[in-house]
Structure 1
Amino acid sequence: MPVWQCGRYRLSFARPAIMAIINVTPDSFSGDGVNGSVEAALRRAELALAEGAAILDVGGESTRPGSVPATLADELARVIPVVRALTAFDVPVSVDTTKPEVMAAAIAAGASIINDINALREPGAVEAVAATDAGVCIMHMQGQPRDMQRAPQYDDVVGSVDTFLRERVVVLQAAGVPAERISLDPGFGFGKTLAHNLALFRALPQFVAQGMPVLVGVSRKTMLGEITGRPVEARDVATAAASLLAAQHGAAILRVHDVASTRDALAMLVALQD
């Protein structure tokens, strides 16, 4: 069973952990951003923890398809005060960022996890994390958010993602980040068509076999809308169903907007399997 060492937290996964999304952006694709409000972020975090979240994931830059990167100053101003406030809950606080400066500031402010859609490829990112004891989640993405959904193509999407993640693990380990501090994310919806996403979902056991916790983030994403025909605000049932299937495929961390529905789905899985 994999473990994830995240600062002073050592997470084991007898059951999947729910990572609650705390968007502090003004332009979240799901419409739930709190635009840097510490008070609103605290309220959202309190609710998420009451509903069963084990990790709080703070994001200060929208990564929806077509989005424009936030400036460093804006992202720091949105994220760091919220991170400081959330550390009062005594649960791992994750920061979703690609910027080394934000990574370093977030860890200094009390964050235990860096969740990077760019897999620490920005110059200085590996060093910003390696010098600490923070956990890190590395994700596969083809292209960048502004252009990633413009006709993404792969000869073999599963093989490409698997190879990419393995190569990034080698880079991190060479920099002094042990495997027990690393989590893997196949990057659903980041430079993938529906067919690519479905192939990756079916291949989750292959990523799990690498021995590190696998994070699955499909919450309210376009792939669910393509399958169900539902708009963004009506995809929580589909999210819970997909999260349940991801758990059955071995996912250790489920990153979601609506914690309660995913918690209930997992409770049913546990009860009916035991």
Structure 2
Amino acid sequence: MDSVDAAGLGIGDQYPPRIMGVLNVSEESPYDPSVYDDPGEAARYVDEQLIDQGADVVDVGLESANKRFEVLTAQQELERLHVAIETLESVSGDAVFSIETRYAAVADEALSQGFDMVNDVCGFADPEMPTVCDEHDAAVVKMASPPDLERPGAIEETDWAECKSEEWVREADYVDMVYEALKQNGLTEKTIVDPAFGGWSEAQTLADDRETFRRLREFRALGKPMLVSINRKNFLGEIADRETDERLPVSLAATSMAVERGAHVIRTHDVAETRDAALIGAAFSEQSTTTRDDVTVSRLDVGSTRELHAHLAERDVDPELAADWVHHAFEIDGLTADERGVLERVAGESGAVWIDLASGRSLLVGSTAAIERVAAGIRDEDGRLSVIEDELERRTR
């Protein structure tokens, strides 16, 4: 896992989780508590509500992400940039300042005027963005997005058949598309990846966000630090049946889980609370990287076949080997003696291990490939064995 130096702020496995607070100088959302168009008021907000509360990074947005508004041109963003620059000059606290923009010209001007990093919600749709960031030696957050400056995050609208292949499209699911979107147009040495949570397109569903969050560790295979923006998002509110202003508890629970699953930066409007939740997640995460005597050992964050598959593919190793290397263990209870006999026979034929335990329970252990062969071997069996087949297939993916 590469680390990123963002103007002296280390971001990566060997650093604590970083908190990105949000300031908007867009005039489209006047009731948003983080929106300011006066540099003095904006600076006070940044000092008191962001930096003093624990923000390591302040992300300044020039326009609303709300799809109801028309996308600003680069020139319109440049006309607003003076408010952001004057705010930065008036802030007394110490933080890394990020400019949220999709345009390389805006990023270039902001970085020239004192900003430290870039948050690109269009994922390098502007082909000059990586070059600009490299020239300024600036860290850049790359959000998963199609290569279109007017459709940030609309991952499903990408012509994946052209980018990948028709066969890939038939097999890919939403999270696969997010992963590939992050790879489109490359990654700089200082890229931080963002899996694009939230309603960026009409096609994106709450189930898509839940599945992306569940499989968050897969994105670590890209070898770059990861940012997640999940603060008060709808996919969390739906689980707890809470409206936006009541979603802080679910956001904090998800923050701890995100850090434990490999997130390095949490973007939030609730800085102090999110900082605490992130520290809890970090405290109970296993250390992934250790360096001693100039030797570094990194444990790949692998808890499923999919995760190992991603790591192998990024290293040009046959990903199908994942099925032989990832092992699973299942405890099964409630079977009759005849049903246990069938499973013991099929397990032995499939290269898995079947162990009878006390009180009628049994243990099934084997590689992904072996367990898949067990599932195939009992596919035509009647009764409760079909339930076991379904569970084995579902849990080895």
TM-score normalised by length of structure 2: 0.60
Aligned-residue offset at 1:40: 2.3
SS at match of 2:193: strand
The structure-2 alpha-carbon separation of the partners of 1:270 and 1:206, relative to structure 1 and needing over 3 Å to count, comes to: closer
Q: Distance in 2 between matches of 1:74 and 1:167?
A: 27
Larger displacement relative to structure 2 (205-214 or 77-86): 77-86
2:4–2:12 Cα contact (<8 Å) kept: yes
Question: Relative to structure 1, is the Cα distance of residues 97 and 132 closer, same or farther in structure 2, using a 3 angstrom cutoff?
Answer: same
Q: Which amino acid aligns with 1:263?
A: R
Equivalence for 2:191? 182
Residue type at the aligned position of 1:4: V
Q: Residues 91-130 of structure 1 correspond to what in structure 2 (within 5 A)? A: 91-130=95-134
**Structure of larger gyration radius:** 2
* 1:51 and 2:53 matched: yes
Equivalent residue in structure 1 for 2:84, among 82, 85, 88: 82
Match of 1:68 in 2: 70
Question: 1:260 is matched with which residue?
Answer: 272
Q: Which amino acid aligns with 2:88?
A: L
> In 2, distance between residues paired with 1:95 and 1:182?
14
Residue 6 of structure 2 corresponds to 6
Q: Is the CA contact (8 Å cut-off) linking 1:96 and 1:115 kept in structure 2?
A: yes
Tell me how far apart the structure 1 counterparts of residues 217 and 278 of structure 2 sit (CA, whole Å): 18
Gaps of 5+ in 2: 161-168, 287-397
Alignment-mate amino acid for residue 134 of structure 1: A
Percent identity among equivalent residues? Answer: 30
Contact 2:28 / 2:64 at 8 angstroms: preserved in 1? yes
Matched, 1:159 2:179: no
1:199-258, Cα deviation, whole Å (9 max, x unpaired): 111111110232210000012223233333333333222222221111111100000011
Q: In 2, Cα distance between the equivalents of 1:107 and 1:117?
A: 17
5+ residue gaps, structure 1, are: none
Aligned in 2, Cα 1:126/1:30: closer, same or farther, shift over 3 Å? farther
2-side partners of 1:147 and 1:9: how far apart? 27
Alignment check: 8 A CA contact 1:36 1:79 kept: no
| Number of residue pairs the alignment of both structures matches | 266
Q: 1:147 to 1:105 in 2, by over 3 A?
A: closer
1:151-209 residue CA offsets vs partner (Å, 9 max, x unmatched): 9998411211112212333xx4xxxx32xx11000111233211111111111111023
Q: Distance between the aligned counterparts of 1:149 and 1:113, measured in 2?
A: 24
The 1-side partners of 2:144 and 2:285 are apart by: 32
Q: Could you tell which deviates more after superposition, 78-87 or 218-227?
A: 78-87
Aligned to 1:21: 22
**TM-score (ref. length: structure 1):** 0.84
Equivalent residue letter for 1:41:
A
Change (3 A) 1:81 1:147: closer
Alignment deviations for residues 123-175 of structure 1 (CA, whole Å, 9 cap, x no partner): 43333323221111111135755995999998411211112212333xx4xxx
What's 2:32 paired with?
31
- After superposition, the Cα gap between the structure-2 partners of 1:123 and 1:30, relative to the gap in structure 1 and judged at 3 Å, is farther
Q: 1:151 to 1:209 in 2, by over 3 A?
A: closer
Indicate the SS of the match to 1:51.
coil
Query: What is the CA–CA distance in structure 2 between the aligned matches of 1:118 and 1:38, rounded to whole Å?
Result: 26
Q: 1:146 to 1:159 in 2, by over 3 A?
A: closer
C-alpha RMSD over aligned residues: 3.0
Q: 2:331 matched to which residue of 1?
A: none
Judged with a 3 Å threshold, the aligned counterparts in structure 2 of structure 1 residues 166 and 146 are, in CA distance, closer, same or farther, namely closer
Alpha-carbon distance in structure 2 between the residues aligned to 1:273 and 1:165? 25
Displaced runs of 4 or more, over 4 A: 142-155, 270-274
